[in-house]
Amino acid sequence: MIHDEREQASPVMPVPSSMTASVDGYAWARDTIGESGGTVYRLHGKAGEPDLYLKHGRDAVADDIVSEMVRLRWLAPHKVAPAVCCFVSTDSDAWLLMDALPGKTAYQLLEDCPDERMAVVDAITDFLRRLHDIPVVECPFNSDHHLRLALAQKRMDAGLVDTDDFDDERSGWTAQQVWRDMTALLPLTPDPVVTHGDYSLDNLLLRNGHVVGCIDVGRVGIADRYQDLAILWNCLGEFGPEFQVRMLTRYGIHDADEHKLRFHLMLDEFF
């Protein structure tokens, strides 16, 4: 992955003794994008060795890292995500060491290479179809909207929803207002597939025109396909509606379910 203002140099951090040999000899850089309460480091500069990523978190964040580790190992045969190099957990902490995927994020390419935007959209859409084609019967993880609604309500009741980060369409809304409008769209007719759960442009790595994998897979599980489609559709809106149309058409949708798009975009506001 290409790095610039998205990270800063870091001193070598303490790790469990069983992980020391795996990180010895690397320079450390801390990722400043999307840490969600934990810390993410890129380990680089070791002669003859590939870069690695290390995630560390405590308490609830440690639980999220455990969830990601389990999903990474389950995804390994499909070769759509980083490989787990080492994992350690205690009662309160978790450390996850992974391969670093090569390339640039979809967001970086769309921002820096305007002439390549349609090709990037095609590549990330094809990769999404590949992910959604994994047989549901093989997936042990549930991420459907019933589960996410329960988690969303807990976050709302605990005051953990960042209302300042709402999409422009809901700027100035309270969490309760979003909840009211979102739940008014229920019930939904399910269309379950294996979803990523946060299929955003920063979570997709491309090299030589192809997606090499996705990161931040802690929400992978069976859910409606619009869980991923809505987030990707929303992200592409920053670059223009023609890319949203291109994505849906490439995926095979010629008449988008606006009902589901709205629901899943509002649901994502709680996380």
Q: Which two tokens stand for residue 21?
A: 């040999």
User: Could you say which DSSP state residue 12 is in?
Assistant: P
Contacts of 21 (CB under 8 A, 6+ apart): none
The continuous run of DSSP H or E covering 43 comes out as strand 39-44
Residues forming beta bridges with residue 224, ordered by sequence position: 192
Cα separation, 84 vs 40, whole angstroms: 15
198 is catalytic: yes
User: Cβ distance 255 to 217 under 8 Å?
Assistant: no
Within 13 Å, how many C-alpha atoms sit on residue 5's CB side?
1
203 known ligand binder? yes
The annotation status of 216 as a binding-site residue, yes or no, is yes
Tokens of 81: 């995500």
User: Among residues 31, 51, 64, 198, which one is catalytic?
Assistant: 198
Binding residues for Mg(2+): 203, 216
Known catalytic residues are 198
Binding residues: 203, 216
